């Protein structure tokens, strides 16, 4: 695409401005998860700077572009850590602490400026020649710069891939954790974060193609333009989803200590527990009796800490009883009772005219979709099929 101010550069500029305004909005907000907002603001700002770099290059603002291009190269080392810590702050809530060793994740970013030192040592005209001309394998004076940029690019790609893997792992762990503590997943399951991560993954793949294959395939400009358009779209998506982020664990100040790491097995999880087989049997009997008598599962926001207080049993012991004796997590344990309650409604001739959603809500579910999913899991059929089977 020819340099100058055109539709493409206008889109880049709008995306960069929107990213900057979004970052400022996130930094100024006092609601929600403040630490998460800071990381999202930083991530958005990095995207905005990358878009600004592309704008200056394509609009032919050379005096600015010779500096933003190398700054943008180093900023690639920030994407991985910022995404990872953003997910951690959302999933860990108040348990997350930005301790000193967390900053070690940003050392590659600082080190990248040393790696790119050959570029900084060029004079102004040489910088312009390097940024705006195809110098690969051409001038010997640029050999060290080309090598430094290539190394920085490959290292940043590798680093982003590592942090993507860590982020996916963290989201999967979160999905297990909430089922150990909550009887519902609506508003706390972070499906939107998963979708956002998928979007970032698409950008990462396009970036890989642009770096590794665009020259050989002959569509260097096209793939870079596509990459920048995707970044613009991502900034708007981050603004919409990030500002609407749910509070996950922040509403439960009595939350247990952090869940064990993925490497821990169930036996290790309760290895230090003082409960023996006889005690867990007694607690299980008390739990079943309470569930049948008081029907706490009808509370659609029931959590493990709440039920443990009602039973006057430490949350860790209650979790151990459910996990070890029933081979279930808290989510499945409670929803089985809700499904059984719904089955009674569906079998009751006096409620034949009652719609499915009303039955779902009366049984403790928050939504029709959650009801259908749980009902199918525990009975092997849909509520409608069960109703007609009787």
Backbone φ, ψ for residue 152 (5° rounding) = -60, -40
User: Would you call 182 helix, strand, or coil by DSSP?
Assistant: strand
The pLDDT profile of the chain, 390 residues, written as one tens digit per residue, is 455 678 889 999 999 999 999 999 888 888 777 888 899 899 999 999 989 988 888 787 767 767 777 778 889 999 999 999 999 998 887 788 889 999 999 999 999 999 988 888 888 888 878 877 655 545 566 888 888 888 999 999 999 999 999 999 999 998 888 999 999 987 777 777 888 889 999 999 998 888 887 666 666 677 888 888 999 988 888 776 655 655 444 444 444 444 444 444 455 566 666 677 888 899 999 999 999 999 999 999 999 999 999 999 999 999 999 999 999 999 999 999 999 999 999 998 888 778 899 999 999 999 999 999 999 999 999 998 998 886
């Amino acid at each position: 695409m020819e340099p100058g101010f055109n539709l493409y550069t206008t889109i880049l500029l709008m995306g960069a401005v929107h990213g900057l305004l979004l970052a400022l909005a996130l930094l100024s907000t006092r609601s929600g998860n403040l630490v998460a907002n800071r990381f999202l603001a930083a991530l958005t700002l990095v995207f905005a700077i990358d878009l600004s770099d592309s704008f200056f290059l394509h609009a032919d603002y050379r005096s600015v572009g010779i500096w933003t291009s190398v700054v943008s190269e180093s900023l690639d080392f920030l994407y991985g850590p910022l995404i990872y810590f953003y997910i951690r702050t959302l999933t860990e809530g108040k348990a997350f602490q930005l301790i000193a060793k967390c900053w070690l994740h940003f050392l590659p970013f600082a080190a990248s400026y040393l790696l790119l030192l050959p570029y900084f040592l060029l004079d102004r005209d040489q910088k312009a020649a390097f940024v705006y001309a195809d110098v690969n394998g051409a001038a010997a004076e640029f050999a060290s710069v080309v090598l430094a940029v290539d190394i920085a690019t490959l290292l940043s790609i590798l680093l982003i891939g590592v942090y993507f893997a860590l982020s996916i792992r963290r989201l999967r762990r979160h999905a297990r954790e909430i089922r150990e503590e909550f009887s519902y997943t609506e508003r706390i399951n972070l499906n939107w974060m998963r979708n956002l991560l998928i979007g970032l993954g698409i950008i990462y793949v396009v970036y890989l193609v642009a770096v590794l294959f665009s020259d050989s395939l002959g569509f260097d400009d096209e793939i870079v333009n596509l990459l920048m358009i995707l970044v613009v779209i991502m900034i708007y998506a981050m603004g919409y989803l990030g500002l609407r982020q749910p509070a996950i664990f922040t509403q439960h100040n009595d939350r247990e200590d952090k869940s064990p790491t993925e490497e821990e097995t169930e036996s290790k999880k309760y290895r230090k527990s003082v409960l023996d087989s006889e005690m867990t049997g007694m607690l299980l009997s008390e739990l079943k009796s309470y569930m049948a008598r008081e029907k706490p599962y009808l509370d659609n926001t029931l959590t493990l800490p709440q039920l443990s207080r009602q039973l006057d049993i430490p949350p860790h012991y209650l979790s151990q009883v459910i996990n070890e004796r029933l081979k279930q997590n808290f989510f499945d344990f409670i929803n089985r009772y809700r499904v059984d309650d719904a089955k009674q409604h569906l079998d009751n001739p006096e409620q034949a005219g009652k719609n499915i959603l009303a039955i779902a809500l009366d049984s403790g579910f928050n939504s029709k979709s959650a009801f259908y999913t749980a009902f199918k899991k525990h009975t092997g059929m849909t509520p409608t099929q069960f109703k007609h089977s009787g």
